[in-house]
């Protein structure tokens, strides 16, 4: 589904990604871990199409198409979702309006008619129940004044609404209390099918207790330096990153 | 070329070519007087209109007043010298006789208004809005006149009102905005060519929206119209004003006056969607819009509510105001002013509290993009006798990009200790992060800006009559196309 080959990228002339290779197939869950500043958010932003990063070499294909040639909104409509590490507040824009515009843009991309207001509201209700998000939150402006945890839950709610093929969740677990962590993880698991895939970026094993990854990758200094099964996360939790860093410094 | 570059090119093209959709010119024969301003011009206009002596006198007095005045310089506007001798002060579509029915109106003219989305055909008009259409200097057609007449409502062009209702005009003309009020008011009073007049009798709720539609068509002409609305005791009317102009390289002058008189327990809602041609991307051309709008709440518990959505004009200078003379009277001002490219706007409101327990609200939302300058200027004045009166003002500015400017100039003059006056102001920006967040959810940049801007302006748009609100929303988005990203 997603194939990243020899990806190099820089920002303001500073190289952050230095040859990332990653392949993801439908039905898989991948975890990406790695020390602060390794380039994890950079990688997810580039997948989503944030323009401040310059891709200097390599390619990303998604379902056989060159992802780097698509505008961010086209990638979204093609099925790429990114859960933001720091979700953005948009004062004045109601969640309902925001989601309705987003859902209808996705439908338009697929050649479908916009949803009728009643159908849309029903969809909202169903998805709210699925990810156990407080109804009051969706009556407010997008993320405005939401607590850190509420913002993260709202990301999962949006993911549920848009049903992406590939979801890249950037530290969706940070800032969540124990109950919220379980709720968010359950939401992700409920949305999982054999046709979609998830990349979870996290620092902590505890999320991976709930969302069990098929692969765990370590990103360090702009490269994926280690890939293994779910046991790698446990090992990292136990030993930290020093033993990996040592091999590369 | 990569897709991305192609897209950028496309966006750029869309942006630079987003046409002002009302920029066409109608080819109609005009009856014009030579350009230039003198006492002779004033007499000529009056003669063209077959006006009574008292009207000519009003004009001549105003002209004498005008000669003693100078163009105001205090606004935060950079306007090149306007040569008033280069302006044509009267231009009217030629017509053979007085128009009695639609069949007699020049088909070209009808087509023009159809193109603008305004139907003058009463049969077609299902939505129930009565229209007075003013093109260049004169009113061409007022719809629904008979229906309204049955209720005692007068809705006609100003010229007709001078002929048919001289007593009302003599009584109210200049009662709220005297010719001596300011430079542009004096000019308008001397040379105004037409406009709308509306009178709602005692106890009548006007059953439909009344609207005036202004259109400048001919080149080099100035438009100087007046609107006078009188709401007698316990009456109600909702009034709409719309305006557009052709796209031209030279600047054109628009200097209007709106006067509203509201008696005891009556209410007037006045909504404007101002979309005069704003000039091109480089600031060439566009309308200079200098307008004096003022209403007086004369009676007890009367109310005036101004709502404006301003997206057009190269220069806007206007401060719709309320004189709250009656006890318990209410004044409201809700405004969205958008400036893009090289547009400049200096707009706001004045609330003058005279009556006891009078209340006013000012909600002003400025949106600036491109190289534009957007200023809010407002005065809240509470006189000695205005016990327990209240004002709440909120002035928000939204910036798109970093080459534009937003300014607020609030003035307070409070002469009564029991009054409560509150002022709040905020400035915010649309950030690239917000746009990207929307993009990531599948929403295009232009639509994202539309969502954010409409969200920001919601409080004001909600005050507009339904039909107008939809139009205004679209207008906001179009006006800002290409301003971010
Ligand atoms: N705008 C920028 N200008 C310069 N350097 C930047 C910019 N944005 C990111 N970086 C640098 O890129 C590197 C990678 O950042 P990134 O956010 O991808 O790390 P991360 O792996 O997500 O870290 P964390 O675990 O803390 O979230 C960091 O060194 C960061 O300082
Ligand atoms: Mg990060």
In a domain, A208, yes or no: yes
Among chain B residues, CA nearest to A162: B441
Looking at the predicted structure, is the pLDDT value of residue B211 above 50? yes
In a domain, A38, yes or no: yes
In a domain, A196, yes or no: yes
Q: Which residue reads 């001549």 in tokens?
A: B60
Q: Which of B433, B440, B455 sits opposite A92 (nearest CB)?
A: B455
Q: Check CB contact under 8 Å for A98 and B440.
A: no
Q: What is the pLDDT of residue A221?
A: 92
> Can you tell me the distance from the alpha carbon of B216 to that of B135, in angstroms, rounded to the nearest whole number?
6
Specify the range with the lowest mean pLDDT, choosing from A239-248, B166-175, B404-413, B433-442: A239-248
pLDDT band, very low/low/confident/very high, at B124 (cuts 50, 70, 90)? very low
Specify the range with the lowest mean pLDDT, choosing from A74-78, A225-229, B281-285: B281-285
Among chain B residues, CA nearest to A92: B455
Looking at the predicted structure, is the pLDDT value of residue B116 above 60? no
Q: Whose CA is nearest to atom 10 of ligand 1?
A: A11
Q: Which domain holds residue A221?
A: 27-48+72-248
Q: Which residue reads 């091109």 in tokens?
A: B280
Among chain B residues, CA nearest to A109: B442
Looking at the predicted structure, is the pLDDT value of residue A206 above 50? yes
Residues of A in contact with B441 (CB under 8 A): 76, 98-99, 102, 105, 158, 162
Residue, of B91 and A147, whose pLDDT is higher: A147
ipTM of model: 0.96
Q: B157: Cβ–Cβ under 8 A, 6 or more apart, which residues?
A: B132, B134, B138, B139, B142, B194, B195, B196, B197
Looking at the predicted structure, is the pLDDT value of residue B120 above 60? no
pLDDT tens column, B223-278: 888 999 999 999 999 988 876 666 666 677 888 999 999 999 999 999 988 877 77
Q: Which of A48, A92, A93 sits opposite B440 (nearest CB)?
A: A48
Q: What is the pLDDT of residue B16?
A: 33
Looking at the predicted structure, is the pLDDT value of residue B148 above 70? yes
Q: A37: Cβ–Cβ under 8 A, 6 or more apart, which residues?
A: none
Q: What percent of chain B has pLDDT over 70?
A: 79
Residue, of B354 and B96, whose pLDDT is higher: B354
> What is the least distance, in Å, from the CA of A71 to any CA of chain B?
7
Where b means 16+ CB within 10 Å and e means fewer, B150-161 reads eeebbbbbbbbb
Q: What is the pLDDT of residue B27?
A: 61
Q: What is the pTM of this model?
A: 0.80
pLDDT band, very low/low/confident/very high, at B17 (cuts 50, 70, 90)? very low
Domain count, chain A: 1
In a domain, A16, yes or no: no
Q: Are B288 and B342 in contact (CB under 8 A)?
A: no
> Can you tell me the distance from the alpha carbon of A109 to that of A121, in angstroms, rounded to the nearest whole number?
21
Rounded to an integer, the average pLDDT of B122-136 is 54
Q: What is the pLDDT of residue B245?
A: 60
pLDDT tens column, B38-48: 999 999 999 98
Rounded to an integer, the average pLDDT of B150-155 is 92
pLDDT tens column, B58-70: 999 999 999 999 8
Q: Whose CA is nearest to atom 31 of ligand 1?
A: A37
CA of A71 to the centre of ligand 1 (A): 22
Q: What is the pLDDT of residue B91?
A: 78
CA of A102 to the centre of ligand 2 (A): 25
CA of A41 to the centre of ligand 2 (A): 4
pLDDT tens column, A212-227: 999 999 999 999 999 9
A162 interfacial to chain B (CB closer than 8 Å): yes
Specify the range with the lowest mean pLDDT, choosing from B361-365, B369-373, B475-479: B475-479
**Helix or strand run (H / E) with residue B346:** strand B344-347
Rounded to an integer, the average pLDDT of A80-90 is 96
**Residue A110 in tokens:** 């697929």
Looking at the predicted structure, is the pLDDT value of residue B447 above 60? yes
Looking at the predicted structure, is the pLDDT value of residue A28 above 80? yes
Question: How many Cβ atoms from other residues are within 10 Å of residue A243's Cβ?
Answer: 10
- Which amino acids bring their CB within 6 angstroms of ligand 1? A 11-12, 14, 16, 34, 36-42, 85
Q: What is the pLDDT of residue A107?
A: 97
Looking at the predicted structure, is the pLDDT value of residue A168 above 90? yes
| Nearest by Cα to A23 from A211, A214, A170, A156 | A214
pLDDT band, very low/low/confident/very high, at B360 (cuts 50, 70, 90)? very high
pLDDT tens column, A86-120: 999 999 899 999 999 999 999 999 999 999 888 99
Q: What is the pLDDT of residue A135?
A: 81
Q: What is the pLDDT of residue B60?
A: 95
**Residue B326 in tokens:** 């009656």
Q: Are B265 and B157 in contact (CB under 8 A)?
A: no
Rounded to an integer, the average pLDDT of B124-143 is 57
Q: Report helix, strand or coil for B415.
A: coil
Q: What is the pLDDT of residue B142?
A: 63
Q: What is the CATH number of the domain that holds A133?
A: 3.40.50.300
pLDDT band, very low/low/confident/very high, at B107 (cuts 50, 70, 90)? low
In a domain, A145, yes or no: yes
Q: What is the pLDDT of residue B75?
A: 80
Where b means 16+ CB within 10 Å and e means fewer, A75-97 reads bbbbbbbbbbbebbbbbbbbbbb
Residue, of A176 and B16, whose pLDDT is higher: A176
Question: How many Cβ atoms from other residues are within 10 Å of residue B384's Cβ?
Answer: 9
Q: What is the pLDDT of residue B127?
A: 45
Looking at the predicted structure, is the pLDDT value of residue B126 above 70? no
> Can you tell me the distance from the alpha carbon of B143 to that of A166, in angstroms, rounded to the nearest whole number?
58
Beta partners for residue B291, in sequence order? B256, B318
Nearest-Å Rg of the Cα atoms of chain B is 22
Burial of residue B324 (CB within 10 Å: 0-12, 13-18, 19+) is buried
Beta partners for residue A216, in sequence order? A31, A228
Beta partners for residue B238, in sequence order? B269
Rounded to an integer, the average pLDDT of B436-463 is 90
Secondary structure letter of residue B88 according to DSSP = B
Q: What is the pLDDT of residue B414?
A: 94
Residue, of B268 and B207, whose pLDDT is higher: B268
Rounded to an integer, the average pLDDT of A47-55 is 94
Q: How far is residue B397 from each of residues A219, B336, B340, B363, B373, measured CA to CA in Å? A: 43, 10, 14, 11, 11
In a domain, A53, yes or no: no
| Nearest by Cα to B481 from B438, B428, B434, B444 | B444
> What is the least distance, in Å, from the CA of B429 to any CA of chain A?
11
In a domain, A58, yes or no: no
Counting atoms of ligand 1 from 1, which one is nearest the CA of A44?
Answer: 18
Q: What is the mean pLDDT of chain B?
A: 83
pLDDT tens column, B293-321: 999 999 999 999 999 988 888 888 899 99
pLDDT band, very low/low/confident/very high, at B135 (cuts 50, 70, 90)? low
In a domain, A57, yes or no: no
> What is the least distance, in Å, from the CA of B458 to any CA of chain A?
8
Looking at the predicted structure, is the pLDDT value of residue A126 above 50? yes
Q: Report helix, strand or coil for B214.
A: strand
Q: What is the pLDDT of residue B348?
A: 93
Q: How far is residue A138 from each of residues A89, A124, A145, B388, B474, measured CA to CA in Å? A: 13, 9, 12, 40, 25
Beta partners for residue B135, in sequence order? B138, B215
Nearest-Å Rg of the Cα atoms of chain A is 18
Secondary structure letter of residue B373 according to DSSP = E
């Amino acid at each position: 589904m997603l194939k990243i080959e020899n990806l190099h990228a820089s920002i303001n002339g500073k190289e952050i990604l230095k040859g990332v290779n990653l392949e993801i197939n439908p039905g898989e869950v991948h975890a990406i871990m790695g020390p602060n500043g390794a380039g994890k958010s950079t990688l997810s932003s580039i997948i989503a199409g944030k323009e401040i990063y310059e891709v200097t070499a390599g390619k990303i294909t998604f379902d056989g198409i060159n992802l780097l040639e698509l505008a961010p909104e086209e990638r979204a409509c093609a099925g790429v979702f990114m859960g933001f590490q720091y979700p953005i507040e948009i004062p004045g824009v109601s969640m309902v309006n925001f989601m309705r515009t987003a859902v209808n843009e996705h439908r338009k991309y697929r050649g479908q008619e916009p949803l009728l207001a009643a159908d849309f509201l029903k969809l909202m209700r169903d998805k709210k129940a699925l990810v156990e998000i407080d109804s009051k939150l969706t009556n407010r402006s997008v993320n405005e004044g939401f607590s850190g945890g509420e913002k993260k839950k709202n990301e999962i709610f949006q993911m549920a609404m848009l049903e992406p093929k590939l979801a890249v969740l950037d530290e969706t677990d940070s800032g969540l209390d124990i109950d919220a962590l379980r709720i968010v993880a359950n939401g992700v698991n409920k949305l999982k099918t054999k046709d979609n895939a998830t990349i979870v970026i996290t620092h902590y094993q505890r999320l991976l207790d709930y969302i069990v990854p098929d692969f765990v990758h370590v990103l360090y200094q702009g490269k994926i330096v280690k890939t293994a099964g779910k046991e790698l996360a446990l090992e990292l939790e136990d030993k930290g990153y020093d033993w990996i860093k040592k091999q590369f410094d | 070329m990569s897709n991305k570059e192609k897209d950028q090119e496309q966006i750029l093209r869309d942006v630079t070519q987003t046409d002002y959709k009302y920029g066409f010119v109608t080819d109609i024969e005009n009856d014009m007087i030579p350009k230039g301003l003198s006492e002779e011009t004033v007499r000529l206009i009056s003669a063209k209109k077959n006006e009574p002596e008292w009207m000519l006198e009003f004009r001549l007095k105003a002209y004498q007043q005008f000669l003693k005045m100078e163009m105001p310089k205090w606004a935060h506007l950079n306007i090149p010298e306007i040569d008033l001798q280069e302006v044509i002060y009267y231009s009217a579509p030629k017509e053979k006789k007085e128009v009695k029915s639609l069949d007699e109106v020049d088909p070209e003219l009808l087509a023009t208004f159809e193109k603008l989305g305004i139907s003058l055909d009463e049969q077609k008009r299902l939505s129930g809005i009565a229209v007075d259409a003013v093109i260049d200097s004169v009113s061409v057609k007022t719809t629904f006149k008979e229906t309204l007449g049955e209720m005692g409502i007068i809705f006609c062009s100003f010229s007709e009102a001078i002929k048919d209702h001289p007593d009302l005009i003599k009584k109210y003309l200049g009662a709220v905005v005297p010719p001596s009020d300011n430079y542009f008011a004096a000019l308008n009073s001397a040379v105004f060519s037409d406009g709308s007049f509306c009178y709602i009798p005692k106890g009548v709720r006007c059953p439909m929206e009344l609207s005036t539609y202004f259109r400048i068509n001919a080149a080099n002409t100035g438009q100087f119209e007046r609107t006078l609305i009188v709401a007698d005791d316990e009456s109600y009317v909702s009034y709409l004003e719309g305006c557009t102009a052709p796209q031209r390289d030279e600047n054109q002058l628009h200097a209007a006056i709106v006067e509203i008189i509201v008696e005891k327990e009556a209410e007037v809602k006045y909504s404007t969607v101002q979309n005069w041609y704003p000039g091109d991307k480089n600031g060439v051309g566009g309308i200079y819009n200098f307008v004096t709008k003022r209403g007086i709440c004369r009676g007890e518990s009367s109310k005036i509510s101004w709502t404006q959505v301003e997206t057009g004009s190269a220069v806007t200078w206007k401060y719709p105001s309320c004189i709250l003379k009656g006890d318990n009277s209410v004044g409201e001002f809700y405004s969205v002013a958008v400036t893009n490219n090289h547009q400049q706007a200096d707009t706001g409101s004045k609330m003058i509290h005279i009556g006891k327990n009078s209340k006013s609200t000012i909600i002003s939302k400025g949106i600036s993009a491109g190289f534009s300058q957007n200023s809010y200027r407002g005065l809240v004045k509470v006189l000695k006798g205005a016990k327990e009166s209240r004002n709440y003002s909120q002035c928000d500015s939204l910036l798109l990009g970093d080459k534009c400017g937003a300014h607020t100039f609030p003035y307070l003059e409070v002469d009564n200790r029991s009054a409560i006056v509150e002022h709040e102001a905020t400035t915010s920006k649309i950030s690239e992060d917000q746009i990207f967040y929307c993009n990531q959810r599948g929403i295009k940049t232009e639509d994202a800006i539309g969502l954010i801007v409409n969200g920001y302006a919601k409080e004001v748009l909600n005050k507009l009559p339904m039909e107008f609100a939809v139009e205004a929303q679209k207008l906001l988005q179009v006006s800002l196309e290409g301003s971010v990203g």
